[in-house]
Amino acid sequence: MNDLVSKQAHTLMWFRSDLRLQDNQTLVAACEHAAREGRSVRAIYIATPTQWLIHDVAAIQLDFIERQLNQLAVQLAALGIPLEVRHLDTFSLIPAFLAQYIQQWQVDRVFASSEPEFNECQRDQAVAAKVSLVLHQQHCLLAPLSVLNLSGQMYKVFTPFAKKWREMARAKPIQTLNAPNAMTKPIATPEPIVLDVPKVSSKAWAIGEEAALAQLRLFAMTKAAEYKASRDFPAIDGTSHISAYLAVGILSPRQCVVALLSHYPDALVHDESPGRSWLNEIIWREFYRHLLVAFPRLSKAQNFNQFADNVHWRNNETEFKAWCDGLTGYPLVDAAMRQLNQTGWMHNRLRMVVASFLTKHLLIDWRWGERYFRQQLIDGDLAANNGGWQWSAGTGCDAQPYFRVFNPITQCEKFDPTGEFIRSYLPELASVDLKLIHKLKIPTQEQRFTDNHYIAPIVEHKFARVRALTELAAMKRGG
């Protein structure tokens, strides 16, 4: 052994998308194991810049992760646990690196939280072949492949999945875990952590688990009961805004369910419970994660409904750019895309509207939109994003039928009736008469942005609808 080998024996906590101390089963298990064995705990986070680039992880999400790592490092230091951040370009370099690392630090076991994505599972298999890896499942409240139908298969329809999920969830008490106790005396305040990747400021989002928990609890106490009525209106602040925290693991799904049940203990039991509607969204999140594990092809951006392989997407690049830039001429679509581009987040109703518009009105492959979302979203999450896009395109599991084409004007009239949301992202329409926004007068070149006109729609709704129905009928037999 060379001089670089630690004199002290360690256990390693490998953080990934579980960047928190509270309700972190993996961290608790690592600390308990180390205490039993008389070892110290070290923690590591492995940044993989090339992997992230290839998979289009948004620069705003990377900034968010960097900020959280800095918080976590300080909290861990107070527990006597050093957090080290290493940069390795891709997952393929991790097994050899860890093999060397465990020798250097005399590590007996590596504790990590499992992740549902295909590449992440492959990574863990390769690592487990080299080092003693202990995985804990905590990205879902109920483990993937545990909520099965009577034939022992994954459900392909949400409603029976959700029913079974609720039955299983109420079978035993749901309790969160405290942060582990200090392992040793606090260690020195760590140096600032800098991820060597392109970043976009995420400062608009409060960082840290205390802030995230406070937001979650406040939502559960004050807004969850109104969620059903308000969740579809983008001008109303009616949703929880916790998706970014769940995506990188600052919050756990169990904390979400516990926060909700503390106010609405009947949410798992009664359809009429005021907490039921929000609980359903947490279950949708789990549904898509379970699907990703049961059908690994979803991680490879394949259609769930394989009849959709026959669709001839138009894939017009100019139209795609207009959609990305919020210049389609449909105010609700454009305001939504500008919300995404300016904030890194988009309201769920609008995600459905813009996804429907891209895949149906423009007949652009859902994978283009899915990728663009990943590049922009602070809450980018493969399972939810893939699920949402395939639902909207009609190619997915329990998806919206292919023949349901959202009318972007009706959606606007229904869900932004006063035009408040539209105006907040389209300043050029600030003084335009609302009825005219909804009626979409088609302007001449000179009339743009003046005289109650907006830019010309990129495609006429009725025409686009018929064109979509004709083309997407390719999915009919599988729908």
Q: Which residues bind ligand FAD (CB under 6 A)?
A: 231, 239-243, 246-247, 281-282, 284-285, 288, 348, 351-352, 355, 373, 377, 379-381, 384-385, 387-389, 392
The tokens describing 149, both together, are: 């139908």
Bridge partners (DSSP) of residue 133 are 110
Active site residues: 281, 284, 313, 348, 366, 389
Nearer to ligand FAD, 91 or 345 (CB): 345
Contact 82, 76 (CB under 8 A): yes
User: Which CB atom, from 30 or from 377, has the smaller least distance to ligand FAD?
Assistant: 377
Length of the chain: 479
CB of 386 to ligand FAD, least distance (A): 8
The terminus-to-terminus CA distance of the chain in angstroms comes to: 62
What is the nearest approach in angstroms of ligand FAD to the Cβ of residue 87? 25
Report whether 18 contacts 26 (CB < 8 A): yes
Please give the Cα distance from 342 to 201 (Å, whole number).
11
Residue nearest to ligand FAD (CB): 388
The CA–CA distances, whole Å, from 396 to 366, 399, 475 equal 11, 5, 11
Task: Write down the least CB distance from residue 119 to ligand FAD, Å.
Answer: 16
129 class by beta-carbon count within 10 Å (0-12 exposed, 13-18 middle, 19+ buried): exposed
Our CB check for ligand FAD shows the closer of 61 and 75 to be 61
Residue closer to ligand FAD by CB (options 243, 255) is 243
What is the sign of the dihedral through the CA atoms of 353, 359, 361 and 364?
A: positive
Q: How many CA atoms lie within 13 A of 434 on its CB side?
A: 11
Q: Which is nearer to ligand FAD, 101 or 158 (CB)?
A: 158
Beta-carbon count within 10 A of 338 CB: 19
Sheet-wide strand order for 133-136? 83-87, 40-47, 10-15, 107-113, 133-136
What is the smallest separation between the CB atom of 290 and ligand FAD, expressed in angstroms? Answer: 12
